[in-house]
Amino acid sequence: MGGARDGGEARDDARGKGAAIAVVVLLAGVFAITQGLSYPLLALVLERQGVSSALIGLNTAMTPLGLLVSAPLLPLLARRIGPVRVALSSALAVALLLALIGSAHNLWIWFPARFLLGFAIDGLYIICETWINQLAPPARRGRVLGLFSSVLAAGFASGPLIVALAGSRGWTAFLIGIAIALVSAVLVFAARHRLPGLEDERPASLLAFLPQAPLLLLLVGAAAAFDQAVLSLLPVYGLRVGLGEALAAGTVGVLAIGNVLFQLPIGWLADAWSRRGATLLLCALTVAGAALLPAAGTDPWALWPLLFVWGSAAYGIYTLALIQLGDRFGGTLLLAGNAAFALLWGLGGLAGPPLAGAAMDRLGPGGLPLVLGLLYAGVFAVVAVRRSA
């Protein structure tokens, strides 16, 4: 009797964890749509108002600045009020801030509003990444985190499509973003009893985490530098090598599709083989992709498959970093680690575009793949030499 009861409780616990994982994955994907929608929507509104490109860029930078500033503060906040309240407050704050931005088409109000938007977005992401690692069974952590990363990427990529369909005039796109943020809040509230708290209540700050996993932070910074460099400069690269405007813009879309489709197989590979081996393989593929990109030229049969694989490999090291973070840390230290990942994502994203842009100015379009190839070659070398993260 006792064994049967224990078996039933174990199955119930597994089903409960499975339901909680599904909620967290859905929550992250839904919320990513709001973030992906906000960047093109607000840029188009400002452009229509006649705001200069420099001011549009400066205003856009307020959101990543909010991400950076919030990173060291969010672990402290989560320990004080609990992760569920942080996630719920973040989703509601995004809805309120989008309503404020949509009703007050005033650039100077948008500066603090977009800074706070970055703070709120980061709150939900850090908590979701902590929850998914707490909930993932160790033997299947790679596949769970791969699914999480794929859904997150798909949500972010869907945002610009919504703007394209709804347009940037009037309230339609803003209302969609507000509704999505409110759906996120409802998901958190409905699942609040299934979502884990902090297993370890001892203080663990972002600064305390930084020296404990330098290799994981390097992976995050490299993935962020790649992400921001290709988002801003790959279309420019395409134009300079002779692609038409539509095809040049489409290069980023092909990278994004690779990112969405291949994170789950990458997670499976990490489970079935080796976290370190998978990291080395993805770095090698990224270096090879960078070396082959100039040779692909404008031939679509060479360029599109190459970009597809290049993007999936380059972005995949972030998924592998998340997997290894969950392998090694728990409780407040896991939360601090996710905050450190957010900080390094911001710093890597700030460094990537200027370095790649300067290389393109000096060396021509080939400067972009050269910088990114050297970056991932450096990561490969560090991972090959070091045995621990």
pLDDT value, residue 223: 96
- 10 compared with 304, residue with greater pLDDT: 304
The whole-number average pLDDT for the span 209-215 is 91
**Residue range 170-183, pLDDT digits in tens:** 899 999 999 999 99
Domains 2-190 and 206-385 share a fold: yes
**Are 359 and 370 spatial neighbours (Cβ–Cβ below 8 Å)?**
yes
364 SS3 class:
coil
Confidence label for 344 from pLDDT (cuts 50, 70 and 90):
very high
Give the global pTM.
0.87
261/315 Cα distance (integer angstroms): 11
Report how far Cα 136 is from the mean position of its chain's Cα atoms: 18
Asked: is 2-190 a CATH 1.20.140.10 domain? The reply is no
Nearest Cα neighbor of 177 from 125, 131, 117 is: 117
Helix axes 107-135, 141-166, angle to 10 degrees: 150
% of the chain beyond a pLDDT of 70: 94
| The token pair that represents 272 in the structure block | 């079935």
Extents of the domains making up the chain: 2-190, 206-385
97/103 Cα distance (integer angstroms): 10
Give the DSSP letter string of 103-152.
Answer: H---HHHHHHHHHHHHHHHHHHHHHHHHHHHHHS-GGGHHHHHHHHHHHH
198/331 Cα distance (integer angstroms): 5
pLDDT value, residue 163: 84
In the numeric block, the tokens 């909680």 are attached to 20
Confidence label for 273 from pLDDT (cuts 50, 70 and 90):
very high
pLDDT value, residue 6: 52
Give the chain's mean pLDDT: 88
Confidence label for 76 from pLDDT (cuts 50, 70 and 90):
confident
Asked: is 206-385 a CATH 1.10.3720.10 domain? The reply is no
178 SS3 class:
helix
**Residue range 91-147, pLDDT digits in tens:** 999 999 999 999 987 888 999 999 999 899 989 999 999 999 999 999 999 999 999
- Does the pLDDT of residue 308 top 60, yes or no? yes
The backbone torsions φ and ψ at residue 71, rounded to the nearest 5 degrees and listed phi first, read: -55, -50
